[in-house]
A and B are shown apart, each in its own frame.
Chain A
């Protein structure tokens, strides 16, 4: 059994302009000790997926369907009492901006100890020791002295280390890192990624890494989920996604990244702009920007198709490519739905 099973998760925000389906049927499994990357552009629903798992959505947002199972325990609809035992203890989260995630009026030590006292039965003395130990673990020099300092006395990289220390203080099974290095400089980013990799190996927790940076994904992740407009368009092992992308959006993303080889040539970007979630088309959400869109793409949304054991994608191009060779198997449930849909025509 997977540590975390997310199945057909749907989260909507109810705004004055209408219902925004920010997460629209997301399913994935996270195994113990693995690093799962969720990539996508702004507005693709990657952060909302994480916030839905933690159930820390803004007041207009609500999980409207699906299930999130942690170690077999259903979290959707479980209530705030259960979630309080999950957050911090079993799943921790670190946010993008280390500048605003810490309270500027409390010392680092007090904030670290608060988290530890709240989630464990340690007394102040033990919590202090644990906090110092955690700071040492994330390579903060002179932790005893640093405990007495305020966030403004820390640099961006140091603050993110404190956030990681805080998140890991209660030894969670899962660490969700929401763009953990986006606000940091490259050399500091390298330090933090190195630290996360090392801690992951030492403590054996699973990580969900949310990022828009495919470079960071390539470095850290075992598995990758690519999101577009609230849905998963492709998922699989990192090697599969990077070397055999099977969704037109993923292919477009890979082409858009400048590398040493593209110097002096034109990039081949994805045309158009990301879709407005209030006006979702009937077919594939990526079809309006897709160079290879076919009639069926505009009419019917492709369901998740199995490419091989380690790889699935929701793109009709795979059917076109694999139909004759019989390599592509549409998963049974979706295949039936598809047949049902065809009868109408």
Chain B
């Protein structure tokens, strides 16, 4: 990071974000599913924060709740030093923050042409005064993501997965956002195409000064693209640090096992690699364990872990961990 510390200002600040879904249990009873339970972090301008975790850990919900696709159950979302509170704030915020979805097949309307798909946000937010201007803007956006102008009149089904994802990215860029939530944008793509799209995210960031929240389960991809990485487990953040730091020196037992489980594309390293294989499955968020959510699978769990929730402490500069025994086990 070349920027001076004091000059770096958070663009997005999340404070104690909570998102509970009510699950109908039958007989007029319902139970809250705590998809996100007290998550706080901030993302600086021009930075990429990687958010990793396994399915059901709440990473997608965090992304969607930030954009107010879900109404937050609790907590605050601050954008550029201002708290988002009213409906007008949300409307204004959505011009500055957009999303790229995981599945390039279901996130594009099959009955719309590429230019309609990319033009829709322009129409919704009334960003273009004339048809001419709208058309030029669409072609500019298509150029940003490496699509040809002759693609404009085609339908989404005529494109491959990688090209569809480009269309989705062009749509996200249409409102000229500062902040993009990328929800598993490359996990449905083949390796060779994935690399093309990752490079494109990089280039767009440099060119347009974008800030990303990059949600993914592929740790190699996240490590490549992110400045900092946050690890989530069962609706809570367990570790947050610089990408290199967390990758080389993970401190939380969950991050350790997650990283050791990543298959390394190198036979000699893979053979020598000592994997920390966790036993059991992720508990259901409906019946989350008491205390530390990871304790049921944690090799270091003690009585204390079942009794109280570990605080999310800064153990080294910029390195946050939620574990009671972080000092003993490292």
Contact A253 B191 (CB under 8 A): yes
Given A41-B191, A257-B191, CB of A187 within 8 Å of CB of B223: no
Residue of B nearest to A191 (CB): B277
Q: With A and B bound together, what is the CA distance between A255 and B198 in angstroms?
A: 13
Contact A252 B192 (CB under 8 A): yes
Q: Which residues of A contact B270 (CB under 8 A)?
A: 215, 218-219
Residue of A nearest to B284 (CB): A155
A-B contact count (CB 8 A): 132
Interface residue total, chain B, C-beta cutoff 8 A = 46
Instruction: Give the contact stretch, choosing among A77-85, A120-128, A268-276.
Output: A268-276
Residue of A nearest to B221 (CB): A258
- 1/0 per residue, CB under 8 A from B, across A170-191: the answer is 0000000000000001111111
A267 within 8 A of B: yes
Residue of A nearest to B271 (CB): A219
Output the least CB separation between A52 and chain B (Å).
22
B190 within 8 A of A: yes
Q: Which residues of A contact B317 (CB under 8 A)?
A: none
Contact B220 A258 (CB under 8 A): yes
Q: Which residues of B contact A218 (CB under 8 A)?
A: 263-267, 269-270
Contact B220 A193 (CB under 8 A): no
Q: With A and B bound together, what is the CA distance between A238 and B268 in angstroms?
A: 10
User: Which positions 210-244 of chain B face chain A at CB distance < 8 Å?
Assistant: 217, 219-221, 223-225, 243-244
User: Which positions 191-234 of chain A face chain B at CB distance < 8 Å?
Assistant: 191, 193-194, 212-219
B113 within 8 A of A: no
Output the least CB separation between B99 and chain A (Å).
22
B162 within 8 A of A: yes
A260 within 8 A of B: yes
Contact A260 B277 (CB under 8 A): no
Q: With A and B bound together, what is the CA distance between A214 and B190 in angstroms?
A: 12
Q: With A and B bound together, what is the CA distance between A256 and B195 in angstroms?
A: 5
State which of A155, A212, A254 has its C-beta within 8 Å of the C-beta of B281. A155
Output the least CB separation between B74 and chain A (Å).
27
Residue of B nearest to A39 (CB): B191
Residue from the set A212, A217, A259, A267 with the largest chain B CB neighbour count within 10 Å: A267
Output the least CB separation between B92 and chain A (Å).
34
User: Which positions 180-224 of chain B face chain A at CB distance < 8 Å?
Assistant: 190-196, 198-199, 202, 217, 219-221, 223-224
Given A186-B219, A239-B268, A266-B199, CB of A256 within 8 Å of CB of B261: no
B41 within 8 A of A: no
Contact A273 B199 (CB under 8 A): no
A242 within 8 A of B: yes
